[in-house]
Amino acid sequence: MILRLKFQYFGRIYCKMKHRILILGGTRFTGRALAELFVKKKCEVTIASRRVPATKKIISIVGELPEILSELRSKKFEFIFDFTSKTVEEAQFIKDVVSFDSYIFIS
């Protein structure tokens, strides 16, 4: 039930401009559903993971975290949803490397 409420909340995001969304580790259940939601809202979605996303409408960066972060260093996102970090220290490292407006740490 909580998951559904969160998706309803994010479902109300209206993309006047093309929001850039980064989902770290988003190729499975929750991340994939979140990515599909933002694609429907016409956002530009990037998934960075060890797996390739199931849809072609999503920009994919495949690799381990150090490789992914080196590719993301020059990019800017409005939202980051982080499914990969296990500790606050890992999340802090990502925060120091990638430019963003809002960071959502999901552990």
pTM exceeds 0.85 for this model:
no
Between residues 30 and 107, the one the model is more confident about: 30
Summarised one tens digit per residue, pLDDT across range 28-42 is 788 888 888 888 888
User: Residues 20, 100, 49, 83: is their CA dihedral positive or negative?
Assistant: negative
Summarised one tens digit per residue, pLDDT across range 51-65 is 877 677 888 888 888
Between residues 51 and 79, the one the model is more confident about: 79
